[in-house]
Amino acid sequence: MDLSSESEKVERLVQEIALTAPEGWSRIVFYQELLAQSDGGFRNKSTARCWIDNDQNEYERSFEIGGSMEAFEAVEDIYESAKSKGEEWSGLFLNLTSDGKFRIEFYYDATPLLDGDSNLVKEKMGL
């Protein structure tokens, strides 16, 4: 997916994810799957990992990262924009560091998180 026209939406997502992180965080990996349903809603699920102290310790409450409504709405906006261009994806991966650098990837195939395939989720997240 070409993100050049989506920079504001992506920046909003990055900011919303960072706002859910604990003080002293150094890196976050966030993965969300989103599938449109016939009723206009979504079937979705997300997971995240967060490290503090320069990646030395994993944050025990990583499940809270990205759990805000604002973060979900940012993901949904990116999804809707892609869908309107015929680039509908099923998974979004974000790797974010505390210095503001990030990498975002989209997946168009399987939905391992929604399907309960933890090994493929770990693979997609680079864990």
Q: What is the largest CA-CA distance in the chain?
A: 44
**Domain 4-125's class?**
alpha beta
Burial 62-85 (b: 16+ CB within 10 A, else e): beebbeeeebbebbbbbbeebeee
Predicted model pTM: 0.86
> Which strands make up the sheet holding 25-36, listed edge to edge?
57-58, 42-52, 25-36, 91-97, 102-107
Could you read off the pLDDT tens digit of each residue along the chain, which spans 127 residues?
556 667 888 999 999 999 989 889 999 999 999 888 888 888 889 889 899 877 677 887 777 778 888 888 999 999 989 989 998 899 999 999 999 999 999 999 888 888 888 888 888 887 7
Backbone angles phi, psi at 44, to 5 degrees: -145, 160
